[in-house]
Chain A
Amino acid sequence: MVNFKPTDEQELVRETMAGFAREVLRSAAREADEKGAVPEDVVNRGWELGLVQSGIPEQFGGYGDARSAITGALLLEELGYGDAAITLELLAPRLVTIPLALLGTDAQRAQWLPRFAGDHYVAAAAAFSEPRWDFDPTALTTRAERQGGDWVITGTKCLVPLADRADVILVYASTPNGMGAFLVERGAGGLKVGEREMNMGIKALATYPVALEGVRVPAASRLGGDDTSVAPLVDASRVAVAALATGIARAAFDYARDYAKERRAFGVAIGQKQAIAFKLADMAIEIDAMRLLTWEAAWKLDRGEPATRECYLAKDYASRAALSVADNALQVLGGHGYIRDHLVELLLRNARGLATFDGLAIV
C-alpha cells in the first residue's frame, strides 16, 4: 500500500543527521570551502556518528544495519543540507564499503571491510569519471585486461576523492564482459595520483586525477568476481546524487525564504511581493518533486527490481532542479547572493558540481 511516511527508525536517523548537519556541517561549510579542507574534528565527529560503520556487517566490526537505499537517501538529504562537500569526505569510505557489502565476495569483505570499522576514520575512494568532454558512464575508456592470474588496468580518471590518502581505490573499468570494479590498494605499481584538482565547487573535498599505467592486480580484486555486473552501483550512485541534490536545494530554499522575510523594499518584506513569493513557491514544489522521485527510485532499488530508468530520471531531474533552485535562491538575494558572505553562491557551485559526479555508490 502506498505510504509516504518513513519508519520510526528512519525518522530517528533523519533527526540525528539533521542535528549533525545543522550544528557541525553547516557551521564548518564556508571555512572548509575557502580553505579547501575539511577540519579533522569534523571528520572525527562524523566517524563517531557511525556514518561508515553502520553499513558494515557485524562480523567485520560494523553495526550491520541492513542496506536500505531509502534510509540512505534520507540520510544524504539531511547531510547534503548541511554541506555536500564535507559529506562526501565523511562518507568517502562508503565508496568502497557499500559496494563490498552489496557485491563483494566473502573473501573480499573479510579482507577489506575490517579496516574501515576500526577506531578511526580511514579514507577510501572510487575512481569512475574520466577527464573527457564526451565522458560516457556506459562506455568507460579505462580498460581492464586479463593477463594470466591478474587484471591489468589502463586509463585515466578524474574527480577521485582523497586519492592521495585513500587506503584503497575502487576503480571502475571496461572489461571483456561489461563494466567491472577493481579494488586497487594504495601504492600499487603504475597507480599515479596527480596534482590536486581545482574545481568550481565541492572545494572542501580534495579530488585528484589518477593515471593507471598498467596497474596489475590479482584476479580476486575484481569486485564480486569475474561475472559480477556493477550496474546496481551505478544506479545507487544516481540515488545518492539525487538525494544530496535535494538537500542542497532545500538549503538554498531555506536561506532565500528567510532572507525574503527579512529584507525590505518598497515598504514591505520582499517575500510579500509576488515576483519573489511565487519564485519561492515554485522552488518548494520542485524540492518536494525531487525528493519523491528520489524516494521512488530508492524504493525500487531496495526491492531489487530493475531501477535504471527511475534512478537515471531521478538523478537527471534532481541535479538540474537543484541547480535551478540554487540559482533562483541567489536571485532572491540579488547582489547579496553573489557575495561570499552568504551561503547561496556556495550552494550554487556545489549543486553544479554534484551533477558532475558519478560512481558515488554510497547508499
Chain B
Amino acid sequence: MIDFELSDETKTARAMVHAVAEQAMRPIAREYDEKEHEKPWDFLRMMWQVSSGNPIGGGERKPRDERPERNLGMCVSIEELSWGDAGLYLSIPNAGLGGAAVAAAGTPEQKDRFLARFKGGDPKWAAMAITEPGCGSDSSAIQTTAVRDGDHWVLNGTKIFCTSGLMAAEKSDGFVVVWATLDRSAGRAGIKAFVVEAGTPGMYVTKVENKLGIRASDTATIVFEDCRVPLDNILGSPEVPKTSEGFKGVMATFDATRPIVAASAIGVGRAALDFVKDTLKEHSIEIRYGLPPHRLTVLERDVMDMEAQLQAARLLTWRAAWMMDNGLRNNLEASMAKAKAGLVVTQITQKAVELLGPLGYSRQLLLEKWMRDAKINDIFEGTQQINQMIVARRILGYSSRELS
C-alpha cells in the first residue's frame, strides 16, 4: 500500500542525526570551509565514536540488513547530515565508497579483512580511486595498470579527485580501492578493482585540491609507482573475461550510492530553502498556497517552485532507496534521482542566494556556501549528463554502443 510515512525507527534516527547536524555541524560549518585543509578532529572523533559499529541512521536493535528501511533510512539520515554541512558530512570517517566497493564485489574473506576495522579503534577512512587526469566519466579509458609479479599485483598510474583520499591513504589505517586495467586491449573487461592498504610503499598523495565548495572534505591526487599489493587484494576474479560483465558489476555499486548522493544534495537544498522560509517568516511574509498566478508575488512563486522541486527530488530518491530495500533493481531509478537532485539543488541554492540579495552573497551567512557546496552534486557519482545517458539508454532500450 502506498505510504509516505517513515517508520518510527527511521524517524527516531532522523531526530538524533538532526540534533548532531544542528549542534555539532552548523556551528563549525563556516570555520572549516574557510580553513579548507584543516580537519575538525573533535567532530570527526565524535562521529567515529557514535558511528563505528553503530552506523549513522540506525540503532542497535537489529542488524543493519534486517532493518526494512535500511537504505531509505540511510538517505533520510544523510539528508540531515548534509543539512548540517555537506563538506563535514563527506569528511566523516567511515568505510565510504571504498567500503561500498568491497561490500559489493568482495569475497566474504575480503569483507572480513577490510571492513572489520570500521568497528572500532581509531578513526579510519576508505576511498575510491577511479578518475584519472585523462578520464573521468569514461572510466573504461583507465590508464592505470596492474601487472602480476609473483605474489603481487604491481600498480602504476595516477588517480585524481579521490574523496577522503588523503585520510584513507596516509592519515589513518584505512585503504584505497583503485581501479586499474590488467589488459588495455580488453577495454572494460580488463578493468579490476584493487584494495591498497594505507601506507603501502609506492602510493603517494601528491596533491589535495582547492575547491569551490565541500572544502572540509579532502579531494586527493594519488600516484602509484610500482605499488605492490598482495594477490588476494583484487576484488572479483583476476581473469579477463570476454564480456564486460565484471565491470558492470562494479558499476552496480553506483546503484546503491547514487540515492545517497541525491539525499545529500537534498539536504543542502533544504538548508537553503529552510533559511529562506525562516527569513520570510521573521518578516511575517506568508506563502499563500492555493492562489491563482496573478495574485502570487514573485517571491511566493519562487519559494513554491523550490519546495515542489525539492520534494520531487526527495520522492525520487526515496523510491530508489525503497527499491533497494525491497530487493528490486534500481539502476534506472537511482540515476533518475541523482540527475534530478543534482540539478534542482544547484538551482534552489542559486535562487536562495538571489532572493536574499546582498545577504545571500555575504559570507556572514551560509547561503553562498550552500550554493558552492550544492554544485558538486551535479558532478560527482556521475555528472548530470552521465545520469541522463543511463536513463536514456534504459528507457530507449539501447546498449552503450547504440547510444554514447
Binding site for B on A (CB under 8 A): 1-7, 10, 70, 133-138, 234, 257, 260-261, 271-272, 274, 277-278, 280-282, 284-285, 288-290, 292-293, 295-296, 299, 308-309, 312-314, 316-317
B90 interface residue (CB < 8 Å to A): no
- The stretch of B13-21, B129-137, B287-295, B352-360 that contacts the partner chain: B287-295
The total of interchain contacts (Cβ-Cβ below 8 angstroms) comes to 134
CA distance A299 to B308 in the complex (A): 16
Give chain B nearest CB distance to A13 CB in angstroms: 13
B166 CB, min distance to chain A CBs, angstroms:
35
> For the complex, is B339 an interface residue (Cβ under 8 Å from A)?
yes
> Closest CB-CB distance, B364 to chain A, in whole Å?
31
Contacts of A290 in B (CB 8 A): 312
User: Counting CB contacts under 8 A, is B304 at the interface?
Assistant: yes
Nearest A-chain residue to B325, judged by Cβ:
A2
Checking A272, A282, A299, A308 against B290 with a beta-carbon cut-off of 8 angstroms, the contacting residue is: A308
User: Do the beta carbons of A313 and B1 come within 8 Å of each other?
Assistant: no
CB distance from B394 to the nearest CB of A (A): 9
User: Min CB distance, B316 to chain A, in Å?
Assistant: 6
* Bound CA span A277–B385, Å: 11
Residues of chain A with a CB closer than 8 A to B7's CB: 1-2
State whether A2 and B396 are in contact (beta carbons under 8 Å apart), knowing that A284-B391, A312-B290, A313-B308 are contacts in the complex: no
Contact B295 A136 (CB under 8 A): yes
A295 touches B2 (CB 8 A): yes
* B261 → chain A closest CB, angstroms: 16
**A313 CB contacts on chain B under 8 angstroms:** 289, 304, 307-308, 311
Q: Chain B contacts of A272 at CB under 8 A? A: 398, 402-403
Number of B positions contacting A (CB below 8 A): 47
A3 x B3 contact (CB < 8 A): yes
- Cα A282 to Cα B312 in complex, Å, equals 13
Cβ A308 vs Cβ B289 within 8 A:
yes
A6–B290 CB distance below 8 A: no
Inter-chain CA distance A2–B315, complex, in Å, is 10
Q: Is B1's CB under 8 angstroms from A316's CB?
A: no
The residue on A at minimum CB distance from B288 is A138
When the two chains form their complex, are residues A289 and B316 in contact, meaning their CB atoms are under 8 A apart?
yes
Q: Which of B283-311 contact A (CB under 8 A)?
A: 289-292, 294-295, 304, 307-309, 311
Q: Which residues of B contact A285 (CB under 8 A)?
A: 316, 336, 339-340, 391
**In the complex, chain A residues whose CB is within 8 Å of the CB of B323:** 4
A133 to chain B, nearest CB (A): 8
Residues of chain A contacted by B72 (CB below 8 angstroms): 2
Q: Can you offer 28 A-B residue contacts whose CB atoms are under 8 A?
A: A2-B6, A2-B7, A2-B69, A4-B2, A4-B322, A5-B2, A6-B2, A133-B294, A134-B292, A136-B291, A136-B294, A136-B295, A138-B292, A272-B403, A277-B389, A277-B392, A277-B398, A280-B396, A284-B336, A285-B339, A285-B340, A285-B391, A288-B316, A289-B313, A293-B312, A313-B289, A313-B311, A317-B309
B 379-404 contacts with A by CB, 8 A: 385, 388-389, 391-393, 395-398, 402-403
A278 touches B291 (CB 8 A): no
Contact with A along B335-348 (1 / 0, CB 8 A): 01001100000000
How long is the Cα–Cα vector from A126 to B389 in the complex, in angstroms? 45
Considering the chains assembled together, what is the distance between the CA atoms of A290 and B313 in angstroms?
10
The answer to whether B289 and A1 have CB atoms under 8 Å apart is no
- Please give, as numbers and ranges, the residues of chain B lying within 8 Å of A277 by CB-CB distance: 388-389, 392-393, 396, 398, 403
Tell which of A7, A70, A285 has the most Cβ of chain B within 10 Å.
A285
Among residues of B, the one whose C-beta sits closest to the C-beta of A138 is: B290
Tell whether, in the assembled complex, residue B1 and residue A284 are in contact, meaning their CB atoms are under 8 Å apart. Answer: no
Kindly state whether residue B4 has any CB partner on chain A within 8 Å: yes
Tell which of A135, A278, A284 touches B292, judged by Cβ atoms closer than 8 Å: A135
Given the complex, which residues of A lie within 8 Å of B311, measured CB to CB? 293, 296, 313
